[in-house]
Amino acid sequence: MRIENPRYTERFGSVRVNDVQKVLELDSGRAKEIPLQENIAVQKIEEDTIKDIEEKMAIVIPTKDEKLKLFEGVIRGVPHECLIIVVSNSQRKPVDRFRMEQDAIKQFCHFTHHQALIIHQKDPILAQAVAEAGYTDLLDEDERVRDGKAEGMVAAMLIAIMANKDYVGFVDADNYFPGAVWEYAKCYAAGFSMAKSPYAMVRILWHYKPKISAGMYFKKWGRVSETTNKCMNSLISTKTGFETDVIKTGNAGEHAMSLRLAEILPYASGYAIEPQELVSILEGFGGVLPVAHQTVAKHGVEVLQIETLNPHLHEEKGLDHLKGMLLPGLGAVYHTPLCDAETKQLILGELQQQDAIKPDEEPPKPHISAPPKKVNRQKFAEVIKEHLDSYSALEKK
Amino acid sequence: MRIENPRYTERFGSVRVNDVQKVLELDSGRAKEIPLQENIAVQKIEEDTIKDIEEKMAIVIPTKDEKLKLFEGVIRGVPHECLIIVVSNSQRKPVDRFRMEQDAIKQFCHFTHHQALIIHQKDPILAQAVAEAGYTDLLDEDERVRDGKAEGMVAAMLIAIMANKDYVGFVDADNYFPGAVWEYAKCYAAGFSMAKSPYAMVRILWHYKPKISAGMYFKKWGRVSETTNKCMNSLISTKTGFETDVIKTGNAGEHAMSLRLAEILPYASGYAIEPQELVSILEGFGGVLPVAHQTVAKHGVEVLQIETLNPHLHEEKGLDHLKGMLLPGLGAVYHTPLCDAETKQLILGELQQQDAIKPDEEPPKPHISAPPKKVNRQKFAEVIKEHLDSYSALEKK
């Protein structure tokens, strides 16, 4: 893979947010004995470097009643070295869609030897493991893991830690192009190989997101992303006193973290999770509020934003879904102690203009779960490991 | 890449047509010191094997006034080891679109060191080279290379031979997904690595071809492909006496050949080129007509059909374009001496039903150019080589 070097970095306390880096060539060929002298603006990430990181990376696919054909395509696009972790909240009755997903991934693993785990979000063992770890934030009143993509993602992080991985990457299950999934994983690995801090996050910016309505129109930004980015940039600008537009991936569902970073972040529920991650980083390490972890601050936290070559083509979830994403995302920005009056006003204005709140309303405060590091991950691992075979999609010979 | 083994092979004289093989996993990971025992139905093609073939492969991109963004995406998807050959018939006036393509590919090569050639189909030097080689079939009354994608493809094959490549693969410039282009090249290489004969052809079957009309509908077969395949299968079935549906890629624009095969085939003009390639193979080596080359017949000619994981999403060229593809393709099948009365009747029926011909008409007979081997490729190479620098998109340092 050939990729641009970051050309600009915004510093906020010990947080470094790199401006967007574009993928220039999907497949940059063999490692040469005498490496070519690359242009100062370009980096070639060797296949071996990428695979070294992939071996230490879990790709998490949260899913809920997704079309099986899409789900199958997505798992087939994940590079072989990555452990796949599917956390499914699909229905069990009247049609057992979870069972269909299990069958599909088992068939895939049978023919490819790919390592994969699949677990239902309402699995009683999972709930027990979460409870024994003391992670009550994740549980509902029935003592099961709460509904929602965010909770599934956090559970998957605990599993990735248990599996001794160093990185975790997220990929949505509704992607039409296996080749795009493949590129996300490569971008994650390339990003981590470029990061200077072990506390790193890679967020994906889609080259284009085709809009299908009487032909194709290639939008660069969705309305939701545009608004979220604007408000986050306002948050940073008012603190630093210099206007910035560095945040271009505020809502990025496709993103990855080193587990050393992932385990120290608190997580929001629902669609606030991705914007909240950035907010939490700025809170914990931006130097405005008390520093969350001294050692981490010494290394710094690095956010990379990578623009893919492939456009992003996924299931259209409709306008309601978009509003459903806007409100919680801006809620995360609105309710951080970092948020100044000016940015609050901006958020309220945007939400009112888009009919997402009434004039006297505020966006909801996100439900926040404690960082995984605060819970007993050892206990979690003990419970899960005992039942690991039943979650593995690859049968032992 | 993990791919199915061919499960069925139709034999027709010394031609072997393999049934469709599906890609199971885009990225099958590192070569293991102790290779896993693969399932009997599956083959893992190691990255090194693929790259060895890519180094010997030219990827030809014929283009004509294509959207520049799509063209740029397509070249960025080609694996680094493959030589890119762009043959463009884009307009020069009033806007010099060819110049824009040149600029785009030069910029790409500058940053990636990718080897690429770009040449205009109406280039006077190209015409001179074709003329000196004695390839008059390719020239129009103005002594320039004839218009049409097919003529551009044949000229590109001569350039690939000049560049000492062993394989040539074709990719259309109107593809929305760089990742799909990448997969085509991998499939070509995987196919050649599996072929038992040095005279081999790989034809791509798209997993799905999304139809965009009030949402997405994933069609497996276009109407044109369905009809062409049916008529070709009828041609084979009536000769062997056993009905077959082995041909599933009669119209495949995405296909590749070993140059040893490519240089001995005659080529049809226009959209007949891809179906005619199959017809020419059946004519030359099917054992019904006199064998074209004894040595080749000894090795056999092998046709592989590979189904990609990625769907195929390209510019919609409209219904007229589809009819424009159907007629010449069926013309190729209709006018071969192999074609029996029954298949002729089938073709006429299909064409009438689809309003492509009137009741008393026949499909047009394709204009056929001699096989490249019949012309003086040495002369061609001498002329081109002298001007090679002006076609290279990668500047010398």
> For A291-311, what is each residue's pLDDT tens digit?
989 999 999 999 999 999 998
Residue of chain A minimizing CA distance to B79: A27
CB within 8 Å of A329: residues ≥ 6 apart: A224, A228, A250, A251, A271, A272, A274, A275
Report the pLDDT averaged over residues A280-284.
Answer: 96
Contact state of A29 with B51 under an 8 Å Cβ cutoff: yes
pLDDT mean across residues, chain A = 92
pLDDT band at B131 (very low <50, low <70, confident <90, very high): very high
Residue A214: pLDDT over 60: no
Amino acid B130: pLDDT: 97
Identity of the residue in B24, B42, B310 whose CB atom sits nearest the CB atom of A177: B310
Amino acid A396: pLDDT: 73
Give the three-state DSSP class for B121.
coil
Contact state of B76 with A309 under an 8 Å Cβ cutoff: yes
CB A186, CB A194: distance < 8 Å: no
Give, for A11, the enclosing helix (H) or strand (E). strand A9-12
Report the pLDDT averaged over residues A334-346.
Answer: 96
CB within 8 Å of A360: residues ≥ 6 apart: none
Report the distance separating Cα A168 and Cα A157, nearest Å.
Answer: 7
Report the pLDDT averaged over residues B299-304.
Answer: 97
Contact state of A179 with B176 under an 8 Å Cβ cutoff: no
Residue B216: pLDDT over 80: no
Contact state of A310 with B179 under an 8 Å Cβ cutoff: yes
Contact state of B25 with A310 under an 8 Å Cβ cutoff: no
Identity of the residue in A182, A207, A212 whose CB atom sits nearest the CB atom of B212: A212
Amino acid B224: pLDDT: 84
Contact state of B309 with A30 under an 8 Å Cβ cutoff: no
CB within 8 Å of B357: residues ≥ 6 apart: B327, B348, B351, B363
> For A148-176, what is each residue's pLDDT tens digit?
999 999 999 999 999 999 999 999 998 98
Contact state of B76 with A179 under an 8 Å Cβ cutoff: no
Residue of chain B minimizing CA distance to A210: B176
pLDDT mean across residues, chain B = 92
- Choice among A32-46, B52-66, B282-296, B303-317 with the minimum mean pLDDT: A32-46
Interface test with B, best of A80, A114, A206, A314 (most B CBs within 10 A): A80
> For B13-40, what is each residue's pLDDT tens digit?
999 999 999 999 999 999 887 777 777 8
H helices then E strands: how many in chain B? Answer: 14, 16
> For A197-210, what is each residue's pLDDT tens digit?
999 999 999 877 66
CB B346, CB B234: distance < 8 Å: yes
CB B247, CB B17: distance < 8 Å: yes
Cα-Cα-Cα-Cα torsion A365, A369, A371, A376, nearest 10 degrees, comes to 170
> For B239-251, what is each residue's pLDDT tens digit?
888 999 999 999 8
Picking from A159, A187, A189, A180, the residue whose alpha carbon sits closest to that of residue A88 is A159
B78 contacts in A (CB within 8 Å)? 27
CB A325, CB A224: distance < 8 Å: yes
- Between the alpha carbon of residue A158 and those of residues A257, A260, A267, A375, the distances in Å are 13, 12, 13, 10
Report the distance separating Cα A390 and Cα A387, nearest Å.
Answer: 6
B59 contacts in A (CB within 8 Å)? none
Report the pLDDT averaged over residues B335-345.
Answer: 96
Say if B218 is an interface residue toward chain A (CB within 8 Å).
yes
Residue A230: pLDDT over 90: yes
Picking from A317, A329, A384, A389, the residue whose alpha carbon sits closest to that of residue A354 is A329
CB B329, CB B322: distance < 8 Å: no
DSSP secondary-structure letter at A138? G
- Between the alpha carbon of residue B288 and those of residues A34, A273, B283, B337, B338, the distances in Å are 54, 67, 7, 10, 8
With a pLDDT cut of 70, the percent of chain B lying above it is 94
Structure token pair of residue B396: 């010398």
B116 vs B325, which has greater pLDDT?
B116
Contact state of A42 with B111 under an 8 Å Cβ cutoff: yes
- Choice among A218-222, A231-235, A358-362, B119-123 with the minimum mean pLDDT: A218-222
Residue A212: pLDDT over 90: no
Report the distance separating Cα B246 and Cα A268, nearest Å.
Answer: 54
Residue of chain B minimizing CA distance to A175: B310
CB within 8 Å of A213: residues ≥ 6 apart: none
Residue B316: pLDDT over 90: no
Report the distance separating Cα B170 and Cα B252, nearest Å.
Answer: 10
Reported pTM = 0.94
Report the distance separating Cα B238 and Cα B247, nearest Å.
Answer: 14
pLDDT band at B336 (very low <50, low <70, confident <90, very high): very high
Say if A51 is an interface residue toward chain B (CB within 8 Å).
yes
The position carrying tokens 């409100």 is: A327
Residue B143: pLDDT over 80: yes
Handedness of CA A106, A112, A115, A116 (dihedral sign): negative
Contact state of A178 with B310 under an 8 Å Cβ cutoff: yes
